[in-house]
Amino acid sequence: MLKNEKYSSWAGSSLRTRYFPKSRIGHGLISIAPWINIVLLLFFFLLIDRKFVMDPGILVDLPKTQIVQGSPFGMTAVVLSIKGMVKGEREEIVFFDDVRYKLKQEDQKRRLQKAFSARVKEGEESVLVIQADRSVSHGTVVDLMNMAMAAGVDKVNIAVKP
């Protein structure tokens, strides 16, 4: 074996030459840098990810005590869920100001929203009470809340019909 400062050679066994550098730059602090970059990138993605993701829905601030408050008597919408014509299908009916509205029909939805708008008085706080039985779908209650908001209702009180 021939040994030089930079080379070592196995002249007798093969023609390969190996290089043995004196300083190994690739080892030490520089080899840690890519790992630190990956950790920092993951940290920033996790930090930023929480702020931009929002679940759709309605934000409700719950009171600190038990819910015993009510609203003054006024606008009340009673929602009932009945069996539809097709087996297993349910249909929601809303009673507002002694008028029945079927929510599956778009023209009756528009009439209900106009009825909400007609009851809202300018300069007064308007509160709508939605009384629904337990079989009414959540989507129906949210649709009624959206119609009330579009009509100018200030507050909505959701109650369970006994």
Dist CA 25 CA 13 (whole Å): 30
**Residue-wise pLDDT tens digits, 88-101:** 778 888 999 888 99
Higher pLDDT, 31 or 156: 156
Domain boundaries, the chain: 2-52, 75-160
Question: How much is the pTM?
Answer: 0.57
pLDDT at 113 over 60: yes
Helix axes 106-119, 138-151, angle to 10 degrees: 50
Residue 71 binned pLDDT confidence (cut-offs 50, 70, 90): low
Residue 26 binned pLDDT confidence (cut-offs 50, 70, 90): low
| Both structure tokens of 78 | 């009673």
Beta bridge partners of 76: 129
Which pLDDT value is given to residue 23? 61
Domain 75-160: state its class. Answer: alpha beta
